[in-house]
Amino acid sequence: MASVELDRTDLLVLAELQRSGRLTNAELAERVHLSASACLRRVQRLEREGVIAGYRAEVDPDRLGLGLQAFVRVQLVRHDSEAIAAFVDFVKDWDEVIACHALTGDMDYLLQIVVQDLEHFSRFLLDRLLNQAGVADVNSSFVLRTVKAFRGMPLPTR
């Protein structure tokens, strides 16, 4: 997919929306020095072109009782298209997996997992990941502390 050409004002709009997605159009327009109608047209164009892929609330996992995070590297038993598709289908249905990335190197996937506690992680690992998904090997690392959480995509400078 080709990148979209963005000017300085587009980048300002994106930066402000990444900082605070609940800004009203009037507030956003003021921050990026546009009229409200011009600002709305820009945001709509960025949405239409897929630069803005959606809006969502940032939720604190601790407040939901999800106090344990882990990264799990996964190696599959088989690498044919059927095995890969089955694994992907499983992963999409597991709420504990908040991100999944296909990798290069000795492991096939990296899963970011959020669970209540070590017992919940153990049930997830044994009952789902190792039991259902055609997994040959896993390597888990638990998050001790988050030094920098995701706060938005890096934007090019103009």
- We report the CATH number of the domain holding residue 114 as 3.30.70.920
Residue 50, pLDDT > 70, answer yes
Q: Which of 113, 99, 120, 115 is nearest to 66 (CA)?
A: 115
pLDDT value of position 62: 94
What's the confidence (pLDDT) of residue 157? 81
What is the overall mean pLDDT for the chain? 95
Determine the pLDDT at residue 47. 97
* Count: domains in the chain: 2
**Contact assessment for residue 69 and residue 63, using Cβ atoms and an 8 Å cutoff:** no
Residues 6+ apart with CB under 8 A from 126: none
Q: Is it the case that residue 40 has pLDDT exceeding 90? A: yes
- Examine the domain organization and report whether 33 and 84 are in the same domain: no
Do 66 and 117 belong together in one domain?
yes
Phi, psi for 20 (deg, rounded to 5): -150, 95
The pLDDT value recorded for residue 158 is 64
pLDDT band at 2 (very low <50, low <70, confident <90, very high): confident
The yes-or-no verdict on residue 80 having pLDDT over 90 is yes
SS (H, E, C) 1-60: CCCCCCCHHHHHHHHHHHHCCCCCHHHHHHHCCCCHHHHHHHHHHHHHCCCCCCCCCCCC
Residue 88 belongs to what domain range?
61-142
Q: Tell me if 151 is assigned to some domain.
A: no
pTM of the model: 0.87
**What is the pLDDT averaged over residues 101-125?**
97
Rounded Cα–Cα distance for residues 26 and 37 (Å): 9
**Residue-level pLDDT at 1:** 75
The reply to whether 53 falls in a domain is no
CA neighbor of 17 nearest in space, from 53, 61, 64, 70: 53
Q: Is residue 1 part of a domain?
A: no
Considering only CA atoms, which of 103, 74, 68, 69 is closest in space to residue 90?
A: 74
> 82 and 114, same structural domain?
yes
94 domain residue, yes or no: yes
Question: What CATH number should be reported for the domain holding residue 37?
Answer: 1.10.10.10
Mean pLDDT of 84-104: 96
Tell whether 22 and 75 lie within a shared domain.
no
**For a pLDDT cut of 90, what percent of the chain falls above it?**
90
Residue 65 has pLDDT above 90, yes or no: yes
